[in-house]
Amino acid sequence: MRRHIILLAFLLVSATAYSQTQKPLRIIMIGAHPDDCDLDAGGIGILLSKMGHAVKFVAVTNGDAGHQSEGGGMLAKRRFAEAKEAGKRFGVEYDVLDNHDGELLPNLNVRLQIIRKIREWGADMVIAPRPNDYHPDHRYTGILVQDAAYMVGVPNVAPDTPPLKKNPVFMYFQDNFQRPNPFRPDVVVDISAVYEQKVYALDAHVSQVYEWLPWIGGYLDQVPKGDAERKAWLAKTRAVPITPEARASLEKWYGKAYAANVKHAESFEICEYGSRPTDDDIRRLFPMLKLSN
């Protein structure tokens, strides 16, 4: 705990120093549903925000199918409100696009929506799902972002929004799928110091973390009733195991001694599209890595 307090203090000091010397980073994370970015990368969203950088979460669908007993416009409104509250708790901006949940297709219309979002944000880095996943909305979000990766710099595509002068670095969220190729943890970030805040932010997605996901997963009867008990249960059930490959990546970025004590982490894979980052670029885009080496 003491180490986490020290790390948070370093983050605040670093944020002040960074704001005085360099332009803040602009990071956009794009998920299929209003809770995907939160689950996969909420920790680094918090860390970046604390350091003074600008972070936006985008849900490509409105989530209007993600519940066992609610649906349509009313569910979409509920999930929009949950996403906005979660954004406040994470310290990020949160946009929800009005595409139907469960019906997403990698068409030109949605691709243009994503191109505009990336351009409007002036993104230095874009993080999205890999296009191999159990959920079609996740897969197609990955494809849509891949298809946007080059086009964000093409002036005659979506000409109503100025193109980016420099292609961002594109990254993938972590997943456990092995085919056609397993996830590769190129960058792993220690989020132990902000894990409790991540859980608090996830708690805003009541319809998902306490209702829909437990129901579709067959464990709704395990969800506690009290608020404190539910948060403790959420912290336990949403903890992501650190694989040997992720631990090795932690050692690269933080050093072996530090990495051995990391309890909670988020992992990312470098996409072949967009700008190809060097290790120095990664340390610039993930400035929290500098604090622990």
The one-letter code for the residue type at 267 is S
Q: What is the pLDDT of residue 3?
A: 57
- Output the pLDDT for position 20: 47
> Which band of pLDDT confidence, cut at 50, 70 and 90, is reported for residue 52?
very high
What was the pLDDT predicted at 113? 98
pLDDT above 60 (res 6): no
Q: Residue 101 has what pLDDT?
A: 98
> In the numeric block, which tokens belong to residue 277?
């980052």
| pLDDT at residue 102, as a whole number | 98
- Does 18 score more than 60 pLDDT? no
Residue 19: per-residue pLDDT: 47
What are 153-176's pLDDT values in tens digits? Answer: 999 999 999 999 999 999 999 999
pLDDT digits (tens, 9 = 90+) for 64-102: 999 999 999 999 999 999 999 999 999 999 999 999 999
pLDDT at 9 over 60: no
Condensed to tens digits (0 to 9), the pLDDT of residues 210-241 reads 999 999 999 999 999 999 999 999 999 999 99
> pLDDT value at position 202?
98
Q: How many residues does the chain have?
A: 293
Cis peptide, bond prior to residue 180, ω within 30 of zero: yes
Rounded CA-CA distance 144/288 in Å is 29
Please give the mean pLDDT across all residues of the chain: 94
How many alpha carbons fall within 13 Å on the CB side of residue 157? 19
Query: In terms of Cα–Cα distance, which of 224, 232, 267 is closest to 249?
Result: 267
CA atoms of 3 and 104, how far apart (whole Å) = 43
pTM > 0.85: yes
Domains of the chain, earliest start first: 2-9+26-292 (3.40.50.10320)
173-195 pLDDT, tens digit each: 999 999 999 999 999 999 999 99
Residue 290, pLDDT score = 84
Contacts with 228 (C-beta within 8 Å, 6 or more apart), sequence order: none
- Structural contact between residues 65 and 290, judged by C-beta atoms closer than 8 angstroms: no
- Give the pLDDT confidence score for residue 22 in this predicted structure: 81
pLDDT tens for 242-263 read: 999 999 999 999 999 999 999 9
pLDDT at 225: 95
Q: Token pair 């100025």 is at which residue?
A: 162
Contact between 120 and 161 (Cβ < 8 Å):
yes
**From the centroid of its chain, how far is CA 172?**
9
Rounded (10°) angle between helices 108-121 and 136-151: 60
Q: How far is CA 109 from the centre of its chain?
A: 23
